[in-house]
Structure 1
């Protein structure tokens, strides 16, 4: 991997005809989009593909729905090839949280057992874990991992909380609020040694890690394709490679429910054009730039954005705003923002809404341990100018809003 100077802006990516990469997306003009990792963004050609599929569905539903399982199976194969897993190990689900709920609904019961999560876990995934623990008559235990924990420390923090009562371990591959990786391969090996089922939440992973399930011996893994994979919204993968997958059934029963995994997830009587258009998104990035080039560009742009934004904030506030994240992620960065901004998730969301409404910048803000952060995320359509706009326009506003209380 070639390391670049984070103070040097990377050259923007272009389409084959010389237009900026952003021309391939239909994002609202006049807004700086710096929050790809929350909801993603779908290229125009993929939206066109999805709309053609919808027209076909509505034109002849009597032909469409009986043939749908075969269409979904074809899409599954393309997604499985992208993730480098077997198509027989992968089901398509609406999003990572839905995949997690499939697991929670069907994991073998453990009366009185504990579900172990970390303090970096995504809120709705924790909510599902709490419901599962209540059904078991048990509890949720939380492993606390410092933001600056390296791989060894993060591993130790999680496995030290495992015990004989642990019925399920839930750990993030890449954390949402804190934009860091977890040493999931090592953690999964230890869970396997102890006979503890493990669910890995990889919501932000597809597209960011080339071979995400390599050497990852977990029972269940979920990942959103509509984030960095740029598939239509409502598309995710549920990967299950152990015998526990035979217990997994869709959240809504269909005529295919009695079929084996993952075929039982292919029978749908709703609009799953997002599933069917997902291969078009993955293929568009590969054909136009190549996923390796895309990941390298996103990393270099995130380096640049983190450097200039944290520098501007540090100079303005007199505090160190660059964050020591123990296991950083290539397209995601945290920058500390002035107190008392975004000290809770609710305040972080309110700050996100205010920034887009008043400044025309769509950015994510998060809270961890009572501290507010900008969670910077990049994609192919972003440029160094987007980062410079945030540094020049939004940093002074954040400082003003913080002083206003």
Structure 2
């Protein structure tokens, strides 16, 4: 692997070269974000990154709200309705099925609260399920006298095997299935459309956690699930606190927003538009984020991110002398690097390594733990370039040594 970075000299922005995976106009693309150049932002998958123009529009809207709060809140429901109409198209959902929520956890909470779980039933999820979603499932199961059943899915299990395991696991006691579209800890995609067909045949509701899907996948909500939720602040680069929630027709009469407010008695999805006096500027500016990425070309963005994530995985694995993780159907914009046995095997140890990489190598990264094994999760967005992963590779090797 050729090192293109030169010497780091204390600043993450020095001598990192250009981005041949994007092209000669990459500096213009990088300039769309005002990210701190003293660190390398290699963890887009966790908290995203908001383009400067979107942040400026948010500031303008906040000023408008403060100039005349009464007028702001009087007009807000109509503006939110217009924004969610645009964002439904970004997510591939029918307008009448699509609402906005603060994050994937809020949508998951609303979906679980609407399910008529019977006593003695169970919620089926996998050992790849996002931790907060698993906690929500456990809360609602306890409240209904139900339980949580965890289905073990090997990291390298292809889609056909995943569906076979699901078919075998769904039985008469299954009250609902919760399945990641793209798993957080293990950065793999799941066959959610096939799972929707299995669940529909068995008469079991399916909730798809598509937290990473908007922007990374094309039309992710169009998967046939009863409920789908996805964060727009990750790969669609919207302000944080913005997520989409799609609900199939048979469930819309029961689902309620996570906050009971003045829209409570409105039909879905308008019932979700009024959530109190919180700052809704993220929802209103999310279409601008999507338009900005769309202007770069969604296909070009996705192809670039996939190639860069694969490059980052390869260069870090080479530095560690390890093989890439054997992941079936890896997430397009994220890849896993196995860490040495005994490294980052717990949440606390993973967090410690993550902090060490910031302090000693200037790299913001994601260190994940799955079934007692530690991984480095490589993310790639258009503001990243190959040289940044070479810095990460050297830094990780030094920290681990």
Q: Deviations over 1:265-318 (max 9, x none)?
A: 11232211110010010001112x11111001001111111111112211xxxx
How far did residue 69 of structure 1 move?
Answer: 0.8
Q: Find the residue that maps to 1:372 and give its secondary structure.
A: strand
1:211 to 202, 206, 219: 219
Aligned positions, number:
387
Gaps of 5+ in 2: 5-17
Distance (Å, rounded) in 2 between the aligned partners of 1:210 and 1:10: 24
Q: Relative to 1, partners in 2 of residues 1:6 and 1:295: Cα closer, same or farther, differing over 3 Å?
A: farther
How far did residue 20 of structure 1 move?
Answer: 4.4
Question: 1:65 maps to which residue?
Answer: 73
Question: 1:283 maps to which residue?
Answer: 291
Distance (Å, rounded) in 1 between the aligned partners of 2:390 and 2:359: 19
1:169 to 177, 180, 188: 177
Q: 344-353 or 251-260, which moves further after superposition? A: 344-353
Q: Deviations over 1:337-373 (max 9, x none)?
A: 1132110122212211221122210010111121111
Question: 1:242 maps to which residue?
Answer: 249
How far did residue 255 of structure 1 move?
Answer: 1.2
How far did residue 159 of structure 1 move?
Answer: 2.5
Distance (Å, rounded) in 2 between the aligned partners of 1:250 and 1:211: 23
Q: Find the residue that maps to 1:252 and give its secondary structure.
A: coil
How far did residue 332 of structure 1 move?
Answer: 0.6
Distance (Å, rounded) in 2 between the aligned partners of 1:99 and 1:57: 26
Question: 2:238 maps to which residue?
Answer: 231
Question: 1:199 maps to which residue?
Answer: 207
Task: State whether structure 2 residue 100 is matched by structure 1 residue 92.
Answer: yes
Question: 1:304 maps to which residue?
Answer: 311
Q: 181-190 or 241-250, which moves further after superposition? A: 241-250
Q: Deviations over 1:147-175 (max 9, x none)?
A: 01011111122232111111110000000
Distance (Å, rounded) in 1 between the aligned partners of 2:123 and 2:348: 25
Distance (Å, rounded) in 2 between the aligned partners of 1:364 and 1:63: 42
Q: Is this contact kept in 1: 2:21–2:308, CA < 8 A?
A: no
Question: 2:154 maps to which residue?
Answer: 146
Q: Is this contact kept in 2: 1:102–1:248, CA < 8 A?
A: yes
Distance (Å, rounded) in 1 between the aligned partners of 2:123 and 2:68: 46
Q: 196-205 or 363-372, which moves further after superposition? A: 363-372
Q: Deviations over 1:88-111 (max 9, x none)?
A: 111100000111011122222322
Question: 2:61 maps to which residue?
Answer: 53
TM-score normalised over the length of structure 1: 0.92
Gaps of 5+ in 1: 315-319, 401-405
Distance (Å, rounded) in 2 between the aligned partners of 1:208 and 1:106: 28
Distance (Å, rounded) in 2 between the aligned partners of 1:249 and 1:7: 53
Question: 2:11 maps to which residue?
Answer: none
Question: 2:15 maps to which residue?
Answer: none
Task: State whether structure 2 residue 167 is matched by structure 1 residue 159.
Answer: yes
Q: Is this contact kept in 1: 2:214–2:231, CA < 8 A?
A: yes
Q: Find the residue that maps to 2:31 and give its secondary structure.
A: helix
Distance (Å, rounded) in 2 between the aligned partners of 1:136 and 1:123: 20
Distance (Å, rounded) in 2 between the aligned partners of 1:210 and 1:6: 33
* Aligned pairs for 1:275-354 within 5 A: 275-287=283-295, 289-314=296-321, 320-354=322-356
1:221 to 224, 228, 249: 228
Q: Is this contact kept in 2: 1:13–1:21, CA < 8 A?
A: no
How far did residue 10 of structure 1 move?
Answer: 5.9
Q: Is this contact kept in 1: 2:357–2:365, CA < 8 A?
A: yes
Distance (Å, rounded) in 1 between the aligned partners of 2:134 and 2:212: 16
RMSD: 1.9
Q: Is this contact kept in 2: 1:6–1:303, CA < 8 A?
A: no
Question: 2:20 maps to which residue?
Answer: 11
